[in-house]
């Protein structure tokens, strides 16, 4: 096992083990940002985006990494973490190098196809359509009226960075000099210039840029001098009609300790939020990621995973990495049992269950569409699964009967109560039916704490 390809394969397998041993936040923040550079059979070399990042990884995670690498390689190997220019294997694809900012220009080594973040590889749905169209317009038409700056915001792993980088790739292809910064990187670069008396050089870099991309803007909040410099840089490029795109986990007005001037500037262009992934979008993303990884799953497994995976694109990418590692370790097909094992960590760390998730799951299990389940159809084929959905919503969520009725197509709480009681009665007398309910609970990743509602499911709450 030698070379970069084998290094990536070994690192992917190791990551699937590391994920089980560190918190989700640490895994996303530190582990997935490392890239595999080389493996000579004895030493795996990993790359970190900058020195402080490397030092933190070595201090806090090196023993875990070494054990995971040893288990994946089936022998003890050395692990070396260096600072270098790379594109991460996690799909974050931050275009980082050892310099805090990356100038996307000229003869920069082209990333591998699977790692590129382009508009063609972005899966568009209702929740992200405006963000996609705004990013594409900025990339193709430049700083058009009303679209500059483009401010993307939304939760983790919904595609903000993907769109930001797609803008950068498109502008670079048009011969533009694009500066890309992480929020923390911008601060660090500014501090280094300030301490070294190189502020003129710092400003000159932006004056010569054709476009500016800044990710994780929320990390600038509370840093007064950094915000002052960003305000200066922003005005410099904006007044010159240069494209600017920013990304944050919150809208400008929700960023605490952010200067009003910056808030006003950020909100002065196109604000585009990226909403949660719906089931159809999750299915399309999952199919695309599996195809890229060369993994085939039966259609019924794909449909089930699209229901179960309620998180972000990163969660889908994490599962695909685990499946890829499993397929390389085992000479067996990825059947229901293997997939069920691979998805368990994502279900275990899921937060409170949403009514819509329960409804989608019950509909899928019974071969119905969501619209059919919520319809006025009273046939046994539809009405009984609707009763089950009412029961599962009552048992597994904190929603009231009126709230459940509203989610199930506008039914009154009396109808919901009757449905809940009818399912509870059958569960006590039909062992096979009870087992099917338990399987659905398992699909939803319910925690023991939620099961305490089982005894209360058939009883109306006080005052209802």
Dist CA 394 CA 397 (whole Å):
6
Q: 240, 274, 308 — which closes off a domain?
A: 274
Q: 83, 115, 147 — which closes off a domain?
A: 83
CA-CA distances (angstroms) from residue 33 to 28, 49, 95, 309?
7, 8, 11, 22
Do 180 and 270 contact (CB within 8 A), yes or no? Answer: no
315 and 256 belong to one structural domain: no
Residue 124 lies in a domain: yes
116 and 225 belong to one structural domain: yes
379 and 444 belong to one structural domain: yes
In DSSP terms, 179 is beta-bridged to: 103, 212
68 and 131 belong to one structural domain: no
Task: List the chain pLDDT tens, one digit each, 464 residues.
Answer: 445 677 888 898 888 889 878 877 778 778 887 888 889 888 999 988 767 678 888 888 998 999 889 888 888 889 999 876 433 333 333 333 333 344 433 322 222 222 367 888 888 888 888 999 999 999 888 766 567 899 999 887 788 988 998 998 889 888 888 888 888 778 887 888 888 888 888 888 888 888 999 988 888 888 888 888 888 888 888 888 899 999 998 888 888 888 888 888 888 889 998 887 877 888 888 888 888 888 888 888 888 788 777 767 877 887 887 787 767 655 556 777 777 777 766 665 555 677 888 888 888 888 888 889 999 998 999 999 999 999 989 888 878 888 899 999 899 888 999 999 999 888 888 888 888 888 787 777 654 333 334 334 444 443 33
Quote the tokens at residue 76.
């003890």
9 and 60 belong to one structural domain: yes
244 and 287 belong to one structural domain: no
168 and 107 belong to one structural domain: yes
34 and 121 belong to one structural domain: no
72 and 126 belong to one structural domain: no
CATH number for the domain that contains residue 429: 1.10.1750.10
Sign of the four-CA dihedral 286, 291, 297, 303: positive
CATH number for the domain that contains residue 62: 3.30.300.180
Give residue 278's Cα distance to chain centre.
Answer: 13
Q: What is the DSSP letter of 249?
A: S
123 and 251 belong to one structural domain: yes
Quote the domain boundaries for residue 23. Answer: 3-83
Q: Number of C-alpha atoms within 13 angstroms, CB side, residue 229? A: 22
Residue 461 lies in a domain: no
315 and 384 belong to one structural domain: no
Q: What radius of gyration, in Å, describes the C-alpha atoms of the chain?
A: 25
Q: Which long-range contacts (CB under 8 A, 24 or more apart) does 168-175 make?
A: 168/95, 168/104, 168/211, 168/213, 169/104, 169/116, 169/117, 169/118, 170/118, 170/119, 170/139, 170/140, 171/104, 171/139, 171/210, 171/211, 171/243, 172/104, 172/105, 172/108
Give the count of domains, the chain.
Answer: 4
DSSP for 53-110 reads HHHHHHHHTHHHHHHHHHHHHTS--EEEEEE-----TTS------SSSSEEE-SSPPP
CATH number for the domain that contains residue 294: 1.10.8
Which pTM value belongs to this model? Answer: 0.55
In DSSP terms, 328 is beta-bridged to: none
């Amino acid at each position: 096992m030698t070379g970069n390809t084998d290094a990536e394969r070994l690192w992917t397998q190791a990551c699937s083990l590391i994920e089980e041993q560190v918190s989700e936040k640490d895994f996303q923040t530190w582990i997935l940002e490392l890239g595999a550079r080389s493996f000579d059979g004895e030493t795996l070399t990993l790359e970190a985006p900058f020195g402080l990042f490397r030092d933190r990884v070595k201090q806090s995670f090196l023993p875990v990494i070494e054990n995971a690498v040893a288990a994946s390689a089936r022998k003890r190997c050395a692990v070396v973490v260096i600072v270098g220019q790379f594109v991460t294997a996690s799909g974050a694809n931050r275009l980082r190098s050892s310099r805090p900012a990356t100038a996307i220009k000229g003869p920069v080594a082209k990333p591998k196809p699977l790692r590129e973040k382009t508009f063609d590889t972005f899966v568009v749905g209702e929740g992200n359509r405006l963000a996609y169209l705004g990013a594409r317009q900025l990339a193709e038409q430049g700083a058009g009226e009303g679209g500059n700056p483009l401010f993307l915001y939304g939760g983790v792993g919904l595609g903000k960075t993907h769109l930001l980088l797609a803008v950068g790739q498109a502008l670079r292809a048009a011969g533009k000099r694009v500066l890309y910064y992480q929020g923390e990187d911008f601060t660090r670069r500014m501090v280094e210039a300030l301490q070294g008396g190189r502020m003129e050089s710092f400003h000159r870099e932006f004056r010569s840029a054709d476009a500016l991309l800044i990710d994780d803007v929320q990390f600038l909040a509370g840093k007064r001098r950094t915000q002052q410099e960003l305000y200066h840089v922003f005005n410099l490029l904006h007044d010159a009609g240069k494209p600017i795109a920013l990304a944050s986990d919150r809208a400008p007005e929700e960023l605490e300790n952010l200067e009003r001037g910056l808030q006003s500037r950020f909100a002065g262009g196109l604000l585009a939020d990226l909403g949660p992934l719906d089931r159809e979008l999750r299915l399309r993303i999952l199919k695309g990621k599996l195809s890229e990884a060369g993994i085939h799953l039966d259609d019924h497994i794909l449909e089930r995973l699209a229901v179960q995976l309620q998180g972000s694109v990163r969660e889908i990418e994490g599962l695909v990495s685990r499946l890829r590692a499993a397929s390389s370790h085992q000479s067996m097909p990825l059947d229901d049992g293997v997939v069920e094992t691979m998805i368990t960590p994502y279900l275990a760390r899921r937060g409170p269950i949403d009514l819509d998730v329960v409804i989608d799951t019950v509909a899928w299990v019974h071969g119905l569409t969501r619209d059919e389940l919520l319809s006025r159809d009273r046939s046994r084929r539809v009405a009984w699964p609707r009763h089950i959905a009412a029961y599962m919503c009552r048992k597994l969520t904190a929603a009231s009967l009126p709230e459940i009725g509203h989610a199930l197509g506008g039914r009154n709480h009396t109808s919901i109560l009757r449905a809940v009681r009818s399912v509870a009665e059958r569960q006590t007398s039909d062992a096979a039916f009870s087992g099917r309910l338990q399987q659905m609970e398992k699909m939803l990743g319910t925690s023991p704490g939620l099961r305490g509602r089982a005894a209360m499911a058939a009883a109306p709450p006080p005052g209802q």
